[in-house]
Amino acid sequence: MKGGKTILAKERFKLTVERLCHELIEKYEDFSDTCIIGVQERGVLLADRVIERLKVLAPKTNIEYGKLDITFYRDDFRTRVEPLKASSTEIDFLIENKKVILIDDVLYTGRTIQASLAALQDFGRPAQVELLTLVDRRFNRHLPICSDYTGITVDALDEAYVKVEWENLDGQDRILLFSAKRNN
């Protein structure tokens, strides 16, 4: 996949994540009764980074952190050409009556988030759920879902594809915009 245009990188990328963390601290203060759930697989990368920064910015807090795999909850399971391979779900606490901050990297059609909300219910009834995403593709939504904390907003055509890359995995932190859809 070549020809991607960088729309956010390096310092601005860092600042954006930093700003999102500060927004969370502003709202949740000591993070009591709060947990962060990253959506597998690439949402977890953002959640990892947010957790890492929150430990520095708000060292006295102890936030519960889980990873949620939604493969078995997807509504497009049998319309895809091939089934998706699942990742692991690691939530070793109940979210009953907790405030949940759901984290994914890109909010696009909203279907992943819909499946995440369905999957979350299997771990209890949360007191509230908020959504944090690094990228919000606001004109491509299929469902009435929006993000509470947004890194950047991207207005792009349906055919376009947005990818968030991470330093520890892809070599550098950046967000790329591709004009044609990835073919898988």
Regarding 182 and contact with other proteins (CB under 8 A), the answer is no
Burial class of residue 60, CB neighbours in 10 A (0-12, 13-18, 19+): exposed
Taking CA atoms, 143 is separated from 19, 100, 112, 120, 168, in Å, by: 27, 20, 10, 18, 33
Nearer to other proteins, 31 or 73 (CB): 73
Q: Enter the tokens of residue 122.
A: 């299997």
Stretch that binds other proteins, among 59-67, 88-96, 139-147, 171-179 (CB under 8 A): 88-96
Nearest to 113 by CA among 85, 142, 87: 142
The verdict on 184 binding other proteins (CB under 8 A) reads: yes
72 binds other proteins (CB under 8 A): yes
Query: Virtual CA dihedral for 60, 68, 93, 127, nearest 10 degrees?
Result: 80
Q: How far apart are CA 14 and CA 17, in angstroms?
A: 5
At its nearest, how many Å lie between other proteins and the CB of residue 152? 23
User: Given the complex with other proteins, which of 2 and 78 has the nearer CB atom?
Assistant: 78
Options 60, 78, 159, 182; binder of other proteins; rule CB under 8 A: 78
CB-CB contact of 162 with 179 (8 Å): no
Beta strand pairing call for 99-107 and 128-136? parallel
Question: Which of 2, 60, 85, 182 touches other proteins (CB under 8 A)?
Answer: 85
Asked if 88 interacts with other proteins (CB under 8 A), we say yes
Q: Is 183 in the site for other proteins (CB under 8 A)?
A: no
- Is 79 an interacting residue with respect to other proteins (CB under 8 A)? yes
Contacting positions for other proteins (CB under 8 A)? 40-41, 69, 71-74, 77-89, 94, 118-119, 121-124, 184
